[in-house]
Amino acid sequence: MYLSATLLISLAATALARPQDAVPAAAAGSKKNVYLATCTSRGLLDSDTLSAVIYYNGPARTGLSPTDVGTVSEPAKKWDGATRRTDLSAGRFTSKIAEGADTLTKSQLAGTATLGSEEFVCFVDGTSTFRFSGGLLGLGTTNCKADFWCASVEVGN
């Protein structure tokens, strides 16, 4: 898994992020949840953007840390109209978000994804937020907003 130096320092100094918004009921019921997010890292002297995958091996709930976070690109790139990939602890994650999906309204179908051999379906999000803080002397902060949310299509245990 590749993480930028800014994000890595933030993660090393504190617990992983927790969703800041009320999590939709569907996310609480999905076996696995992945958020495709655009993040801004602010340090003492600089500010960077990145595209990140925030993965929960289980339901995503406020107050629950993600299982893993993977950087897709730095600086951030649009998710729609492209195939994006990153490696997570659970395997290779690949998203395919339809061209123009960024113009759809919340909860509309936006594309598909895979994590290893497991299939996901992705929807427009635009409201879920995550905050990573800490870093050297506690001065670094990374704020992420989920552009899309992907839910596992598998059911059961």
Structure confidence at residue 123 (pLDDT)? 98
Other C-beta atoms closer than 10 Å to the C-beta of 126 total 15
Structure confidence at residue 35 (pLDDT)? 98
Structure confidence at residue 134 (pLDDT)? 72
Please, are residues 139 and 43 in contact by the beta-carbon 8 Å criterion? yes
* Concatenated DSSP letters of 24-69: PHHHHHSSSEEEEEEEEEE-SS-EEEEEEEEEESS---TTPPPSEE
Structure confidence at residue 63 (pLDDT)? 81
- What ranges do the domains of the chain cover? 5-152
Structure confidence at residue 128 (pLDDT)? 95
Structure confidence at residue 77 (pLDDT)? 97
Please, are residues 76 and 51 in contact by the beta-carbon 8 Å criterion? yes
Structure confidence at residue 3 (pLDDT)? 42
Q: Tell me which residues of the chain have a pLDDT lower than 50.
A: 1-25
Structure confidence at residue 137 (pLDDT)? 58
Structure confidence at residue 62 (pLDDT)? 82
Structure confidence at residue 12 (pLDDT)? 31
Residue 137 contacts by C-beta under 8 Å, 6 or more apart in sequence?
A: none
pLDDT in tens, 133-154: 876 556 678 999 999 999 999 8
